[in-house]
A = this chain, B = another copy of it.
Amino acid sequence: MRRPRRKAEDTREEILLAAEEQFRARGVSGCSIAHIAHALSMSPANVFKHFHSKLALADAICDRQITRIMGRLEDGGAPAPPPERLALVVRQLMETHLQNLRENPYMFEMIFVMREQSFTSAGRYKEKIEHLFVEVISEGVAAGIYHCTDLQKCARTAATAFVGVLHPVFIVNMSENELSQRRDELVDLVNAALQNPLAR
């Protein structure tokens, strides 16, 4: 009984690969389910069976990219003191975001074209990023270096503070020098805030 399910997963995978290619070639706004079906010599109805809308497709593509990004982050290396770990996490995130944007420039268009849509992948990614910060900050608190009473709030605030050096909209046109400088300054700022015993 396993074969049919396996086949559905394969088809889904094929559709996603073709969609990424089509997005890359035609841009997000220039690309329809029909184009993707045509590229696969499939009927549009068959594509619709797996993805009910272009949004669902785009969302699934984002999810794949998030999985790739998180995979690239996991080789954390040797443990370091929390302030340096924070710097490392932000540096790694920035690098994978830059790499993702180079590999998939259509991501930038997607953010604009589909800005009114709600991506479930975006919420999941936000959670994963915040979880990275929760880990670093809780280690710092345990080591007596960071001061933070509400971990979730501290992590969310840190994640928001780094938006200017992590989000595609900002990193797309900044020089690598300026980006690294701003990132390092932000890391110092967030570290100073987290190390302030008087902070809320």
Contact = CB atoms under 8 A, between A and B. Distances in A.
Nearest to A147: B192
Nearest to A165: B160
B196 A192 contact: yes
Contacts of A195: 196, 198-199
Copies in the complex: 2
Contacts of A185: 153, 156-157, 160
Q: For this complex, into which size category does the number of interface residues on chain A fall?
A: 35 or more
A59 interface: no
Given A115-B173, A173-B115, A157 B189 contact: yes
A160 B188 contact: no
A167 B165 contact: no
A157 B165 CA distance: 11
A182 interface: yes
Given A188-B200, A193-B190, A170 B163 contact: yes
Nearest to A166: B164
A173 B112 contact: no
